[in-house]
Amino acid sequence: MRNLKENWRFRISSKPGMIVLIIIAIGLFYKCGTVKHVPAPPVVAKTTINNDTLMAGKTLYVNNCQKCHKLYSPDAYNAAEWKDNLNAMQRKAKISDAQKETIYKYLTANIKK
């Protein structure tokens, strides 16, 4: 057993052993480095609604709906379900018909029909 330990120490203390350890350490540190940022492809709107309307809809959605419950992703429901949800919540949120329609346009702008 003693002979085995001595051989192990000899291998590490030798130049080739140290080179191997350095290469392994560099490889481990290299793999632990940061991941390169790959930008997401640009989102292309599937709608003809202008950007100002979409931003206004998002602002209304965040400011009014978040008061009572968590915000749901626009693709959480289809267009008919969003229409029903908005009709049910309009009175509670105290929003006008025009505001409801703007929120609806925002929520349904990019969902699959």
Give how far Cα 59 sits from Cα of 28, 34, 93, 103, 107, Å: 46, 35, 14, 8, 11
14: left (phi over 0), alpha (psi -120 to 50) or beta: beta
Q: What is the pLDDT of residues 51-80, one digit of tens each?
A: 899 999 999 999 998 888 898 989 899 999
| The model's pTM | 0.56
Phi, psi of 93, deg, nearest 5: -80, -10
CB distance 93 to 63 below 8 Å? no
pLDDT band at 24, cuts 50/70/90? confident
